[in-house]
Each structure stands twice: as structure tokens, then as C-alpha cells.
Amino acid sequence: MSVSGAASLSETDRALIRILQEDLPLAAEPYAEIAGRLGLTEEEVLERVRRWCDQGVIRRFGASVRHRRVGYKANCMVVWRVDDPLEQRRVGQLFAGFERVTHCYRRPVRKDWPYNLYTMIHGADREDLDRLVAGMSEASGIGDYRLVFSVREWKKTSMKYFSEGTSNDG
């Protein structure tokens, strides 16, 4: 995880990151436009973007699509109780293999909250999600789980790195 910490990023790198996390110019030569804004050459911009993609600093490069508009109207966080530490990785990796599981993490248990595997799943509707979860339970042998449906989205943004200094948190 130490391939490229924040410490090794120059001011120019940070300025480029600020631009890349906004919208790429939808133009024939988008990287040349970005280079112009930063006073860099197009090749200098391309070299950095390629390197960050290779290193995993950029996790994904492309369009973010509103999934509600392309057919997946239901999503749900499902939390699973897997007590045996040896089982946690096996089940986590098993769930990760499900196409419609987009996120899978292990998190700590808390008082009155024994769940430690978290999956985000997507489907057409609630029935579809119920079927998917039943399948995951059967495949993993984990019977203690809970569907935690979202009923309202209060915020959904992309993180703006190196620009949260203006935080209004008084």
C-alpha cells in the first residue's frame, strides 16, 4: 500500500488529480486541454495518468453512470455474521465472486451488532434482491444475516481529494 503515498505527490500532481476527479473535457484531445491548463505538455499528463493507472492510484478511469437510470432500481446493504476468522476470508472471497455484489468488506463487530461481512448488492427490485441473498446464504452456509435497505439518499458525491481545506465544520 506504499507505492505512492500522499507525501510523494508534487503540487503539480495534486493539481492534476484535482482536474481528473472532475469532468474530463469531452473533446477529441482531452489530455492536451488539461495539459494546457496546467502548463504541462500533453505527454507529461499522459505519462502521469498511465503510471497512476498502473500503480492502482487511479482505481478506475471512465464514466460513472446513474444505475437507477439503466435498470437496477434496487440496492441493499447486506450484513453477515461470520464468527470464525478462518471462515471470514473464504466467505468474503466467495461473495466477491457474485457479479451483482459490487462491494464486499470485513468490518469490526460492535456491541449488539455481531455482523462483520458487508456486501452491497444490486437488483431489479426487492424480490430480485431477496432471491440473490438467499442464493448467497445457501452458497456460503451463513444463515445469520440482515438486509439493511436504504430508504433515502441524503448525499452522494465523489470525494474531492486535496481540496477539502475549505471545509465548513464550525
Partner 1 sequence: MSVSDPLDNRILAAVQSDFPVCRRPFRELARKLEVGEDLLLARVRSLREQGVIRRFGAVFDSRRLGYVSTLVALEVPNEEDLPGVAAAVNRYPEATHNYQREDRFNLWFTLIARSRERIGEIISRVASLETVAGVMDLPAEELYKIRASFTPLDDETGEA
Asked if 96 is part of the footprint of partner 1 (rule: CB under 8 A), the reply reads yes
Q: Minimal distance in Å, beta carbon 134 to partner 1?
A: 19
Q: Tell me the C-alpha distance between 136 and 78, whole Å.
A: 10
Is the Cβ–Cβ distance between 35 and 44 less than 8 Å?
A: yes
Residues 20-59 that bind partner 1 (CB under 8 A): 20-24, 26-32, 42, 46, 49-50, 52-53, 55-59
The phi and psi torsions of 78 (rounded to 5 degrees) equal -115, 125
168 binds partner 1 per the rule CB under 8 A: yes
Nine-digit cell string for 85: 476468522
Segment interacting with partner 1 (CB under 8 A) among 124-132, 133-141, 153-161: 153-161
CA torsion, ordered 82, 85, 87, 90, to nearest 10 deg = 110
12 touches partner 1 by CB under 8 A: no
Indicate the residue among 39 and 156 with the shorter CB distance to partner 1.
156
